[in-house]
């Protein structure tokens, strides 16, 4: 029996409703518009990786509950990747935990590490699951806003420092950053690290776009800075790097006490997931360097194609240094309200985008910004650019 006086959805989650992606994807379906809203590729990842999953299924590997921390092959491959790429050494047995995508890694980390009332500083605009996961863990989110600056967005380090209070437990960092495409520089990361050490904060860093960094930008893991290894939970995932977002194979790397804590929460969320896919992702992580550079170069070309189309159509374009999203400012088009703009765009131009305002607590700071995904086939991006030119 339910009481009619009391809402069904609890107070912690009431503000979240359904995600903007559900609304915009439904709009895309309804209008036949090109969906550049949600960030998923419209082609699958490498054939050999897909075949590896098929083989694992057929060979009966992972069809029953895999080990709680993840299959050893994948944990070993994750550790080898961190060492090969960043010189970071992690023990596959005690310092790697496989999760149901980065999403579960984020939720489990916050559920494990926060007490009710703890403050969590997150870069705003933030990935939509952060706010909900902080809320589920009983934490209080404290957004620090990335500000538009030239053709990108920047982190104001003084603002970040000023946001730390005696109740701050954790910094939730995301670089390369969705939705702005910002890649924090080595100097910025060093400052974040210094602050974390000085104020004795834990750091959860979402690095799912670690392989999608363009031009002169470089991805440097926060865990590689002095004093950070023992306080940092690094999160990544196979979804974005290998274009299999439906497999939901993610992982954390961290010091043993942090991994043990996160695992305590994770075991009661999914316990385990994606058995056969874990074997396939282990093979994917061992692909030759040419796969990673080819993937990155392909995405950079897509970025350039869509960014040029958007600029041509009259948007102000913030050139992303990473991820597969481009954020635009609609004010040069005579518009100010991104949400209204995105609701009308499918009818007006046959394209779906996402209003960045939904990723902000300070909605007004995000009002004029709109995000487009460029992880789509070239002909789809060309057609989208053609349609947008009609604006």
Ligand X SMILES: *Cc1c(COP(=O)(O)O)cnc(C)c1O
Residue 320 in the binding site for ligand X (CB under 6 A): no
DSSP annotation of 146 reads: -
Among 95-103, 111-119, 163-171, 191-199, the segment contacting ligand X (CB under 6 A):
95-103
d(CA 143, CA 122): 5
Decide if residue 208 touches ligand X (CB under 6 A): yes
Hey, what are 257's tokens?
């006490």
Is 245 near ligand X (CB under 6 A)? yes
Q: Which CB atom, from 39 or from 92, has the smaller least distance to ligand X?
A: 39
Number of residues counted as binding ligand X (CB under 6 A): 14
Alpha-carbon gap, residue 287 to 382, rounded angstroms: 30
Q: Kindly state the tokens that stand for 138.
A: 């009983």
Member of 127, 279, 295, 360 binding ligand X (CB under 6 A): 127
Candidate list 33, 78, 96, 102; residue touching ligand X; CB under 6 A: 102
Q: Is 174 in the site for ligand X (CB under 6 A)?
A: yes
Residue 213 β-bridge partners: 322
Q: What stretch of H or E contains 98?
A: strand 96-100
Beta strands 168-174; 119-124: pairing state: parallel
37, 69, 101, 139: which one binds ligand X (CB under 6 A): 101
Query: Would you count residue 222 as binding ligand X (CB under 6 A)?
Result: no
Which of 35, 82, 103, 234 binds ligand X (CB under 6 A)? It is 103
- Minimum distance from residue 121 beta carbon to ligand X (Å): 16
Question: Residue number with the shortest CB distance to ligand X?
Answer: 101
* Residue 125 touching ligand X (CB under 6 A): no
Determine if 184 is a binding residue for ligand X (CB under 6 A).
Answer: no
Cβ neighbours of residue 253 closer than 8 Å, sequence gap 6 or more: 78, 79, 82, 88, 90, 95, 96, 223, 233, 234, 236
Q: How far is the CB of 120 from ligand X (least distance, A)?
A: 15
Q: Could you tell me which residues are beta bridge partners of residue 292?
A: none
Q: Does residue 234 touch ligand X according to CB under 6 A?
A: no
Which residue intervals of 93-210 are DSSP H helices? 101-113, 128-136, 157-163, 186-198
- Cα separation, 303 vs 211, whole angstroms: 15
Instruction: Identify the residue among 250, 309, 350, 366 touching ligand X (CB under 6 A).
Output: 250
Per CB under 6 A, residues contacting ligand X are 101-103, 127, 174, 178, 206, 208, 237, 239-240, 245, 248, 250
């Amino acid at each position: 029996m339910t009481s009619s006086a009391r809402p069904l959805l609890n107070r912690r989650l009431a503000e979240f409703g359904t995600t903007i992606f559900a609304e915009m994807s439904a709009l895309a379906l309804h209008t036949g518009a090109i969906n550049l809203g949600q960030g998923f590729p419209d082609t699958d990842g490498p054939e050999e990786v897909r075949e590896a999953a098929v083989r694992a299924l057929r060979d009966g590997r992972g069809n029953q509950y895999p080990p709680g921390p993840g299959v050893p092959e994948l944990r070993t491959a994750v550790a080898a990747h961190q060492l090969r790429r960043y010189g970071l050494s992690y023990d596959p047995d005690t310092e790697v935990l496989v999760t149901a995508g980065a999403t579960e890694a984020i939720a489990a980390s916050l559920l494990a590490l926060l007490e009710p009332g703890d403050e969590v500083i997150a870069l705003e605009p933030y990935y939509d699951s952060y706010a909900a996961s902080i809320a589920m863990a009983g934490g209080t989110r404290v957004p620090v806003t990335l500000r538009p600056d030239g053709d990108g967005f920047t982190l104001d380090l003084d603002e970040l420092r000023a946001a730390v209070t005696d109740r701050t437990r954790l910094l939730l960092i995301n670089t390369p950053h969705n939705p702005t495409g910002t890649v924090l520089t080595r100097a910025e990361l060093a400052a974040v690290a210094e602050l974390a050490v000085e104020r004795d904060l834990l750091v959860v860093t979402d690095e799912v776009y670690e392989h999608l960094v363009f031009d002169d930008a470089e991805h440097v893991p926060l865990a590689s800075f002095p004093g950070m290894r023992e306080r940092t939970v690094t999160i990544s995932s196979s979804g974005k790097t290998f274009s299999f977002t439906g497999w939901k194979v993610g992982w954390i790397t961290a010091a043993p006490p942090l991994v043990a804590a996160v695992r305590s929460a994770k075991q009661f969320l999914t316990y385990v997931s994606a058995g056969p896919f874990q074997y396939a992702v282990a093979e994917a992580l061992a692909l030759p360097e040419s796969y990673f550079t080819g993937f990155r170069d392909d995405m950079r070309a897509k970025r350039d194609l869509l960014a040029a189309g958007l600029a041509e159509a009259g948007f102000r374009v913030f050139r992303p240094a990473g991820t597969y999203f481009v954020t635009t400012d609609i004010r040069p088009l005579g518009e100010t309200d991104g949400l209204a703009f995105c609701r009308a765009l499918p009818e007006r131009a046959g394209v779906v985008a996402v209003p960045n305002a939904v990723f902000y607590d300070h909605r007004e700071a995000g009002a004029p910004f709109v995000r487009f995904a460029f992880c789509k086939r070239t002909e789809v991006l060309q057609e989208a650019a053609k349609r947008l030119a009609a604006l």
